[in-house]
Amino acid sequence: MGIVNDVLDDGLGGLSHNVITGKLEDLVNWSRSRSSWPASFGLACCAIEMMATGGAHYDISRFGMEVFRASPRQADIMIVAGRVSQKMAPVLRQVYDQMMEPKWVISMGVCASSGGMFNNYAIVQGVDQIVPVDVYAPGCPPTPETLIHAIETLHGLIETNQILKRRDETGAGANVHVEYIEPGASPTPVLLGARK
Amino acid sequence: MSDTKIPDTETSDTETPDFYERSVAGTDEGEQQLRPRSELTAKELLREVGAVLRMSEAEVSRLGDLPDDPDEDQTMIINMGPQHPSTHGVLRLMLELQGETVLRCKPIIGYLHTGMEKTGEQLTYTQGATNVTRMDYLSPIANELVFAMATEKLLGIDGDIPERAVWIRMLMAEMSRMASHLLFMATNGMDLGAVSMMIYGWREREEVLRFFQEVTGLRMNHNYIRPGGVAADLPAGWRDGVLEILDMLPPRLDEYDILMTGQPIWRERLQGVGVITPQEAQALGATGPILRSTGVEWDLRRDEPYMHYDQMDFDVIVGSYGDAFDRYAIRLAEIRESMKIVRQILDHMPAGDYRIQDKKVTPPPRARIDESMEALIHHFKIFTEGFKVPEGEAYVSVEGPRGEIGCYIVSDGSASPYRMHMREPSFVNIQCLPHMMRGGLVADAVAIISSVDPVLGGVDR
Amino acid sequence: MSSPTESRQGAADEMRHVARGEYLATVKTLADEGYAMCIDLTCVDYLELPGRHLPDGAEPAERFEVVVNLLDMRNRRRLRLRVQVPADDAVLPTLFDVHPGTEAMEREVFDMFGVEFSDHPDLTRILMPEDWVGHPLRKDYEIGRIPVQFKGANA
């Protein structure tokens, strides 16, 4: 009895020190951002820097992203690395459509972000004309540090519930009751690694 | 194959009756007679019963509407790419398979077409290097080098480039070749299953890229070799950087030998795969390691030497079987040869100017702009208008890591090229793919693409 | 004005003008003489240089000029052939039977310039999508740039 009393007394008091409560959404977002797998969509020179980021020196494995999935069905992030030509644009859209929700897009390099130095008939002037882009990484090619910064920015966006908007639009996803907060006039701050 | 509706365009009767009659009636040898070369190569190739699948993509997609034929002999046309982990970029292959065997293949390119030749007509000659360097992005220095050499030939200053500039160019070209071949090691290993090669290859390549960043400011797409010389001098301490790389690489290359070259699985996967004969390779215009793997000793650095390669002591590595293993071994050995050349360049590097002192072509040093009005005007004109190049045309070629890179410039006397065409080796080497894949397995298709080492930026331009 | 078509004659840089009717026969003869490899086949559109003259003995200058680079490995020499192709009849015989490696190069010339090659096994677009209209590297085809904020940018 004394023990039970002790546990109850200490236990409940102890419980509040030993149990953390939080939102399931935060847990889901944390796990999503820490193991987001990229779909290999390397097109041109930026693909080489993307592979260098996956190499031993810059190592995006510490962010949980070293597995470049060949199949878009298994991928979360599509890093469009390189210039998108007119012939490639439908392929890009098809691969993007084949990815499962939740999915994000990083536009790596200036050619993917805006057409880059090739402002001509052959290159799509910005891949955001085809797929919705979440993070743009400038550079020609962006060094692996820039790409890692872009990836970390995206992870911050994932953690701060940016996905709610997307899910609402598409109407797909898990059967979780979410409370939609109307976005205010101020833009959503990027809190790298922070939780609300 | 008779059940499918594929229009079979290559089964033409290539032997015209009068030709045979002539050959048989004229001499004793009959079919063994040495025919003139103009008659020889195409007929030999076409006699291979057509390795190339001559069907458009629209026709292939219509094939999907055909009813299922339970007949086991029916061949299947599948599509590999353009987004595929092993097509080295956005190369699309249509393969006609019978079971696992590849009968015919058609490479479809154009998914990275950037309009660089058209853009080249809008940019000045100083800006041209930024454009061409992104074609073969695995060895950007080679593209810049050939463009600068073609421009200098048109300007008439190709004999006046200062010695130090030439030696710097050679150093950068060889380092770029090493970086490109290390990447080949990495991707070749990964395509064949030695996934850790990806990490090792990139580890070594990082060292070379660090050297490039010290010298040119960029890891890739350097825009360093410009008409008249190079953009900037080598920084202080560059010798230590080069020596570090030269000391670090040989034991690691020996590691690759242990990991791959002597290993039975590696040999099984590469030996005898993707065989191409010397006649085929020459007929298809292949150059570089593909041609050398068949036994033809052709390397522009030795046979049409440019810069100071005639003073360098290096071997041209040649294979004998024309298979994928030979191409792998050639590239591995070429890394070692490049290291040998770099060591000799270290001994030979002279002091001096790093670009030609021709005020019309190269911009003045920054300090002089403050002092001299003329220097200011020249700087302004070179960077806004560009320097004018006399009318004419020129074709210059160098030995890139994949073969002969050529640059054909037609100038109309203005500050930008009238026509700028790059002869990219990968564009021509891709034509070898159907002939290499024919009769092999689908798994070998991956090994073959990897051994050809195409870079799609050069293929599509 | 001096012709823009004179090349700088270096030691290993021989250039020859060939008439369209003799083009295929010349290439065949050269192949027999040792020029076994066709290194490059490309085209130039001289629409913006209308008054050019070719050296004496060559045929009149036309809009398109197909340039073929041949290589003789045994004797280490190169040869560049230039063939004039008129705009209204832009057809040339294919070199595929002599040099199968020209298949992709001729397709690129067709795609970019619209010059057709008769008897080519597969003359379709290679770099642009199959349903693209127009030939991009012609001089009357716009670069296709979108307007950007920076004034005076070349491309």
Q: What is the 3-state secondary structure (H, E, C) of chain C?
A: CCCCCCCCCCCCCEEEEECHHHHHHHHHHHHHHCCCEEEEEEEEECCCCCCCCCCCCCCCCCCEEEEEEEEECCCCEEEEEEEEECCCCCEEECCCCCCCCHHHHHHHHHHHHCCEEECCCCCCCCCCCCCCCCCCCCCCCCCCCCCCCCCCCCC
> In this structure, what DSSP letter does residue B294 have?
T
**Residue count of chain A:** 196
Using a CB–CB cut-off of 8 Å, the residues of C that contact A are 128-129, 132, 136, 141-146, 148, 153, 155
pLDDT at residue C149 in the model: 73
Q: What is the pTM of this model?
A: 0.83
* Contact by Cβ (8 Å): A158, A33: yes
Residue A107: helix, strand or coil by DSSP? strand
CB within 8 Å: B114 and A87: no
**Which string of b and e fits B307-342 if b means at least 16 CB within 10 Å?**
bebeebebebbbbeebbbbbbbbbbbbbbbbbbbbb
Q: Is the pLDDT of residue A137 over 90?
A: yes
Return the minimum-mean-pLDDT range out of A14-28, B63-77, B299-313, C21-35.
B63-77
C-alpha to C-alpha distance for B149 and B306, rounded to whole angstroms: 10
Residue pointed to by tokens 């299947």: B76
Residue of A87, A117, A119 lying closest to C129 (CB–CB) = A87
pLDDT at residue B342 in the model: 93
Residue of C128, C136, C155 lying closest to A119 (CB–CB) = C155
Chain A hits for B84, Cβ within 8 Å: 70
Report residue C108's pLDDT band, with 50, 70 and 90 as the boundaries: very high
Chains that touch B (3 or more CB pairs under 8 A): A, C
Output the six-digit token pair for A145: 């540090």
Each residue of A53-99: pLDDT tens digit?
988 888 888 888 888 888 889 888 999 999 999 888 888 888 888 88
Sign of CA dihedral B151, B155, B160, B162: negative
Backbone angles phi, psi at B408, to 5 degrees: -115, 115
Residue of B113, B282, B391 lying closest to C4 (CB–CB) = B391
pLDDT at residue A101 in the model: 77
Report residue C47's pLDDT band, with 50, 70 and 90 as the boundaries: confident
Residue with more model confidence, C20 or B27: C20
CB within 8 Å: A118 and B183: no
Nearest CA in chain B to A43: B89
Distance from CA of B412 to the nearest CA of C (A): 6
C-alpha to C-alpha distance for B215 and B236, rounded to whole angstroms: 9
Report residue A174's pLDDT band, with 50, 70 and 90 as the boundaries: very low
State the virtual CA torsion across C125, C129, C131, C134 in degrees, nearest 10.
-70
pLDDT at residue B171 in the model: 93
> In this structure, what DSSP letter does residue A79 have?
E
**Helix or strand run (H / E) with residue A189:** none
CB within 8 Å: B119 and C155: yes
Nearest CA in chain B to A70: B85
C-alpha to C-alpha distance for B43 and B14, rounded to whole angstroms: 7
Return the minimum-mean-pLDDT range out of A32-46, A126-140, B419-433, C47-61.
C47-61
* Contact by Cβ (8 Å): B321, B272: yes
C-alpha to C-alpha distance for B128 and B228, rounded to whole angstroms: 13
Compute the average pLDDT of residues C15-22. 86
Q: Is the pLDDT of residue A2 over 50?
A: no
Nearest CA in chain B to C152: B384
Nearest CA in chain B to A95: B83
pLDDT at residue B68 in the model: 55
Each residue of C76-90: pLDDT tens digit?
888 999 998 888 888
Chain B hits for A115, Cβ within 8 Å: none
pLDDT at residue A16 in the model: 56
C-alpha to C-alpha distance for B136 and B423, rounded to whole angstroms: 11
Distance from CA of B42 to the nearest CA of C (A): 5
Give Cβ neighbours of residue B364 (< 8 Å, ≥ 6 apart): B372, B375, B378, B379
CB within 8 Å: B89 and A43: yes
pLDDT at residue B27 in the model: 41
| DSSP string over B63-108 | HTTSPP---TT--EEEEE-SS-TTSSSS-EEEEEEETTEEEEEEEE
pLDDT at residue B5 in the model: 39
CB within 8 Å: A44 and B134: yes
Compute the average pLDDT of residues C37-59. 82
Chain A hits for C145, Cβ within 8 Å: 119-120
CB within 8 Å: A140 and B457: no
Q: Count of CB contacts below 8 A, A vs C?
A: 26
Question: Cα(first)–Cα(last) distance of chain C, in Å?
Answer: 29
CA distances for A157 relative to A115, A189, B69, C7, angstroms: 25, 9, 51, 59
Mutate to test the interface with C, among B393, B418, B423 (most CBs of C within 10 A): B393
Nearest CA in chain C to A117: C155
Residue pointed to by tokens 């070379």: B208
Residue B308: helix, strand or coil by DSSP? coil
CB within 8 Å: B202 and A123: no
pLDDT at residue C8 in the model: 30
pLDDT mean for each 10 residues of chain B (461 residues):
39 43 44 52 53 64 56 74 76 85 86 90 89 91 93 87 91 93 91 87 90 91 89 89 92 89 88 87 89 91 88 89 91 93 91 83 80 85 86 90 92 90 92 87 89 90 86
Nearest CA in chain B to A93: B83
pLDDT at residue B249 in the model: 92
